[in-house]
Amino acid sequence: MKKVLKWVSNITSWVLIAVFVVMIFMVVSSKASGGEPNFYGYQLKSVLSGSMEPTFDTGSIIAVDPTIDKQKLKKGDIITFKENAETLITHRIIEVKNSGNHVQYITKGDNNDGADLEPVLAENVVAKYEGFTIPFVGYFMNFANSKIGTAILLVIPGILLIIYSVFTIWKSIKEIDIPKKEETSSSN
């Protein structure tokens, strides 16, 4: 029974430490990149609407490449673009229009009935979707990027580690005290 408890204790310790390290990585990465975490040169974006279902579900995270040539995208590419200063949208290109030195993309969400009302200027394209999606993690990432989420995700694992450390130290001291009490009672 003691071996099982020790095994469970070790696993719990490593899980708490891993969660704490992942949370620190996510929070620091998102703050350093200005809001979205970066992973091997790709940005991770949260999908907050169902306009691209079934390609990716609401609440997913997607990997996008911000280093693409914005002038050379083609029909069928999925791009993330600025609708305005605060809003990013990820939709599929359904038509490419060249007019002089300017390139415009007509986009549409896979789940939408019609094309987006305004064409997207190549200058407003932020990144291209690279085919990597993790369902439902976007809800968590969106929460982690909020001020409350950042505080909770850094503080709670830290508090849990401290509580677990105190419990482990108390348990170790208690185990040391038991042999000492047996020594004192046997010497009398």
Our answer to whether residue 99 is catalytic in this structure is no
Tell me the angle at which helices 137-145 and 147-187 cross, rounded to the nearest 10 degrees. Answer: 90
From 13, 29, 46, 49, active-site residue: 49
User: What is the reported pLDDT for 107?
Assistant: 94
For residues 23 and 46, membership in a common domain is answered with no
For residues 160 and 113, membership in a common domain is answered with no
User: What is the reported pLDDT for 178?
Assistant: 64
Domain-located, residue 188: no
Domain-located, residue 51: yes
| Residue 57 in tokens | 């579900």
Report the phi/psi class of residue 153: left, alpha or beta, with left for phi > 0 and alpha for psi in -120 to 50.
alpha
Tens of pLDDT along the chain (188 residues) come to 778 878 887 888 788 777 767 766 766 666 665 656 666 677 778 788 888 888 888 888 888 888 888 888 999 999 999 988 888 889 999 999 987 788 999 999 998 999 999 899 889 999 999 888 877 776 776 677 677 877 777 777 778 778 888 888 888 787 776 665 556 655 55
CATH number of the domain where residue 100 is located? 2.10.109.10
| Cα–chain center distance at 70 | 25
* Structural domain of 131: 41-135
Last residue of a domain, one of 94, 120, 135: 135
For residues 45 and 128, membership in a common domain is answered with yes
User: What is the reported pLDDT for 125?
Assistant: 92
